[in-house]
Amino acid sequence: MLKARCSCHSGDEPAAGLDLRNPKSFAKVISPGKPDESVLMHRLMGKGGKPQMPMGFAPFDEKDLAKVRSWILAGAPTGGGSSTHWAYQPVIRPPIPMAASGKGVRTPIDAFILKRLEKEGLKPSSEATGETLIRRASLDITGLPPSPTEIDAFLADKRPDAYERLIDRLLASPHYGEHMAEKWMDLARYADSDGYEKDLNRTAWKYRDWVIDAFNRNQPYDKFVVDQIAGDLEPYPTIDQLVATGFNRNTMMNLEGGVDQAEAHFNVVLDRVATTATVFLGSTLGCARCHDHKYDPFSQKDFYRMVAFFDNAVIEPQGRKEVGEEKWFEPFVEVPSPAQSELRLTLMKRLSANKARLAATSKSLASEREAWTKEAQGVSSTTLEGELKVPAGLKTGLLRDGSFRIEGESPATATYEFKATLPKGQWTGLRLEALPDSSFADNGPGRSDHGNFVLSKFEIYVGGRPLPLNRARADFEQQGFPIAGVFDSDPNSGWAVAGQTGKPHDAIFAFPQTLHEAVSITVRLVMDSRYPQHTLGRFRLSLMAQIDPERFAIPQDVRALLATQPNSEAVAKFYETISPTLQTMRAAIEKNEAALAKLKSEIPTAMVLRDKPHTEQLRTYVRLRGDFLNKGDQVVAGTPTSLPPMPPSEPGNRLGLAKWIANPRNPLTARVEVNRLWEDAFGRGLVETSEDFGTQGSPPTHPELLDWLASELVAKKWDVKAIQRLIFTSATYRQASSLTPERRSKDPQNLLLARGPRYRLEAETIRDLALFAGGLLDPKIGGPSVYPSQPEGTWSTPYNSQSWMTSQGPERYRRALYTFWKRTSPYPAFLAFDAPSREQCTARRIRTNTPLQALAMLNDEAILDAARALAHRMLAEPGSQSQRIEFGFRCATGRTPSRPEAARLASLLAKLEHDYNVDPEKAKKLGGTPHQAAWIMAASVLLNLDETITKS
């Protein structure tokens, strides 16, 4: 108790030299058998004019002081009994107690609860009403309320096992997996963005789908653990097992400029260790990053031994390290649906067949290719002379070779307009040469810092009319910026040459028909991409007279070979790309490749964890004071020495770690999981601090019950639904939540469970409940994240161009689980009701009550939409006004209103309709007539009732 409360007197440099972990040290403040003479008691009680201990924290209450006094009276013994904290002791299955009131026992759980109630002189509450039970169980198991029809069916079911049948039905619902996953997302710190300054979007939803599916098929919890920690290391891992490792890929990623990627990855690894310990072991192991844990038996070396398991991940660096833009990424996998896999196979077979036909036909093109090589060696173009107009502030210089050089400060965007009259001849195309120049960065030909340009659009007008263009070739195209991009209206596409700046480049545009002399021609070069200053610096325009002139846009390396090795393989391969004979086959191949590219863009990916191959033991360095740059001793991968050791038969990698965590001998894993399941049902775990089972955490209110449930989970082969069924069918869970003066006095927080659970619902459930009541909720399971309506301007992303695009149609009303989760700007209505940012693992949400919650319920667009829809349902309900009121009340609260309640709602409706008739403009703002507006506001009142957003 002293160790847990008096943190100053522990560690490497305990305050005043007093270390309460060391009996020799604290002997000087204790007089054995004489508490009133002991310095320790004086300081704990604040006597002697000195500050009361523990300094800065709540003083010991009378109960705790009595324990210390009794200990000193007994001689302050330090031996005898187990000194190991309860959570680190083996789980030993206790006998089920015999409760004095046996009739209140439906499951063994009740026996443990009743025994404690009898000890405290309390009696359990009576069973809750049927309406309460079905609503409570539905919300706890599926996260959705029951419909009036479902309530009526349950109330009409008079079979003795009707309630048990209800629980089985709810556990079998596909919405069960969604509700369980909703809570798991906090633990897994799931988000759809990377975090940090840029907070770029990421694709991670396949992991969320895996979690939903794992819960729905009731995957044994030990397998659930192993797949998430090390599914990739299983023999012949499936795609699902790879996707499961997304648990440890949900960490934040720092992709800001100038960040040391090795240090950023180090922080990622530390987060994985801390999260794994919190989620599966209920331990604050992360506190040992900088020094030995001050309260629990974890050393700093224990922490870094765990780090070694995760410090062998595959890293894929991208970018240029010398300019500080290298980024470290980890692997992704494609996760196609069966239909997508089948289509991809079909397209690949078709593409292979088309390429084989092209290869066979190209062998007979020798004479055609020879004629082309001769023509290409002598090909020429006629420089087009005319006038160039550029934006204000720029100057044009006409050079001797007929090219233009643009001078002056480079603008963000520019459009050049060239006008001329065609000289004598018959012209088939126009050649644009982008030419290097020493006056530009990297010799140009563009004016950007790297010598690049982006030609967004290329237009030709003949006689004042636009000339339709659709055939063009360039000698080189930057990946993602082909010459074909100049023909569309997207300013972010176009022709660019990064990778070959500082060299001359050609783009040849074929005219749709031959043009003759004396015709006026206008050429517009538009450069308005999102990349500023990416404008052309030097270029030349010339006319082509050859048939199919685009055939002569030849790469520099091929052009060099034409004069010396015209029959080379490289020339032959290039000719395949321009041969008129192969045009149909090329088109078929391009169509196949475009279809494959489109399919690839539609196939979702998943972030996965992979290890580098290794034959030796995994090792890493202790970082002194947790500093990345301050290496200490090297340690071998291993588990905390205070816990049972990893069996030598297990591999010394993450898979071995995962199996050690899921081993029944581990004293923490089963306890932590059953405590979490208890918390889901009662709003508070048997150990309230579900994130910390250590000495600083709360002790279990019912330790024997906790151990019995933990042993039962293992005995039932880690069957989560079996444990939940025990909880939900227990008499303890089925109690009414009424609070009597006696219960308020003896057990205000309901720690002893003499009444049923009653607490405000979580953020996501509140939203889902409102949409369900209004009949708006889209029940679709799984899929990508969606963007429901949120207040304008909430999502501000100054460091990227991403924006919140509100979903339309049914997707706007998907379950809250599927809402896009941006770490730097989480959905505001969820934040109001205590949702975390998910920048790190959250094992337990702390409930608050603030005015913002009332404002959110009254003004949030989704809740208003639900109110409108509920009003529409009420008005469409056949019968009298009172029957419509009753229907709406049941949709919101799950029960039938009392007469006074119904009368108050009827009175409210009358007043609202009168007010809106007086001021119909207010009714229009709600989107209806005065009569409709009155019902909408009445529906809003129903959705805002404390009973609506509260369980039981």
CA distances 744 to 445, 737, 751, Å, are: 81, 12, 11
* 463 Cβ neighbours under 8 A, 6+ residues apart: 519, 520
Quote the CA–CA distance of 732 and 126 in Å, as a whole number.
10
- CA neighbor of 252 nearest in space, from 306, 313, 202: 202
Q: Which of 819, 804, 759 is nearest to 947 (CA)?
A: 759
Please tell me the pTM assigned to this model.
Answer: 0.83
Three-state DSSP class for residue 893 = helix
8-state DSSP, 128: P
How big is the CA angle at 777 (ends 866 and 684), to the nearest 5 degrees? Answer: 90
State mean pLDDT over 834-842.
97
pLDDT value of residue 2: 67
pLDDT at 28: 74
Instruction: For residue range 562-615, list pLDDT tens digits in order.
Output: 888 988 889 988 988 888 888 899 899 989 999 999 999 999 999 999 999 998
Mark residue 181 as left, alpha or beta (left: phi above 0; alpha: psi -120 to 50; beta: remaining): alpha
- Residues of the chain above pLDDT 90, percent: 78
d(CA 188, CA 275): 8
Which residue type occupies 665? R
309, pLDDT greater than 60: yes
Span 103-154, pLDDT tens digits? 789 999 999 999 999 999 999 999 999 999 999 999 999 999 999 999 999 9
DSSP lists the bridge partners of residue 415 as 526
Dihedral over Cα of 135, 137, 140, 146: its sign: negative
Q: How many CB atoms lie within 10 A of CB 902?
A: 17
Q: Which residues contact 182 (CB under 8 A, 6 or more apart)?
A: 143, 762, 764, 765, 816, 817
Name the residue with tokens 């040992």. 288
The amino acid present at 8, given as its one-letter code, is C
pLDDT in tens, 414-436: 999 999 999 999 999 999 999 99
CA dihedral 154, 159, 160, 162 (to 10 degrees): -30
CA separation for the pair 125, 103 (Å, rounded): 13
List, for residues 729-769, the tens digit of each pLDDT value: 999 999 999 989 999 999 999 999 999 999 999 999 999 99
Q: pLDDT-based confidence at 878, cuts 50/70/90?
A: very high
**Mean pLDDT taken over the chain:** 92
Tell whether the torsion through CA atoms of 511, 512, 518 and 521 is positive or negative. Answer: negative
Contact 32, 76 (CB under 8 A): yes
Averaged pLDDT, 860-889? 96
Task: Say which residues have a Cβ less than 8 Å from residue 689's Cβ, sequence separation at least 6.
Answer: 696, 697, 698, 844
CA distance 373 to 58: 91
Task: Determine the average pLDDT of the residues in 48-56.
Answer: 80
Q: Which helix (H) or strand (E) holds 360?
A: helix 338-362
The CA distance from 704 to 93, in Å, is 8
Whether the per-residue pLDDT at 102 is higher than 80: the answer is no
Taking residues 630-636, report their average pLDDT.
96
The answer to whether 330 touches 607, Cβ cutoff 8 Å, is yes
H or E element that contains 432: strand 426-434
Q: Is the peptide bond before 651 cis (omega within 30 degrees of 0)?
A: no
With cut-offs at 50, 70 and 90, classify the pLDDT of residue 10.
Answer: low
Q: Mean pLDDT across the stretch 320-349?
A: 89
Give pLDDT tens digits for 441-479.
999 999 999 999 999 999 999 999 999 998 999 999 999
CB atoms within 10 A of CB 187: 22
| SS3 annotation, 455-507 | ECEEEEEECCEECCCCCEEECCCECCECHHHHHCCCCCCCECCCCCCCCCEEE
In whole angstroms, give the CA distance from residue 114 to residue 124: 7
What does the pLDDT read at residue 101? 56
